[in-house]
Amino acid sequence: MTSSDSSSVSELRRIVREEIVNVGHSVLSTVFWTLVSVFVLLFGVQLLQFGYVATGLGAVSMILGGTLMIGSSLYLLYLLYR
């Protein structure tokens, strides 16, 4: 009886150690992708600002590019935190 109890305890400890490592990687990954998303969001806003100042086809392309970047960044944040 004692040997089966100790083996189950050691098995539980191994599982807990593995899951702690997995959670750590998950948290680091979430922080990384959140930072990337925020920087892309800010870059998209700046591209929109440049687009409103510019004229012609460059303005249209900057506005569309900024809108696409903002939308994709917000979608990534939605997927990360839903």
Q: Taking Cα atoms as reference points, which of 82, 81, 66 lies closest to residue 34? A: 81
Evaluate whether 11 touches 37 at the Cβ level (below 8 Å): no
Q: Classify residue 40 by burial, with Cβ atoms within 10 Å: 0-12, 13-18, 19+.
A: middle
30-46 pLDDT tens trace: 999 999 999 999 999 99
Q: Taking Cα atoms as reference points, which of 41, 29, 27, 36 lies closest to residue 69? A: 41
47-74 pLDDT tens trace: 999 999 999 999 999 999 999 999 999 9
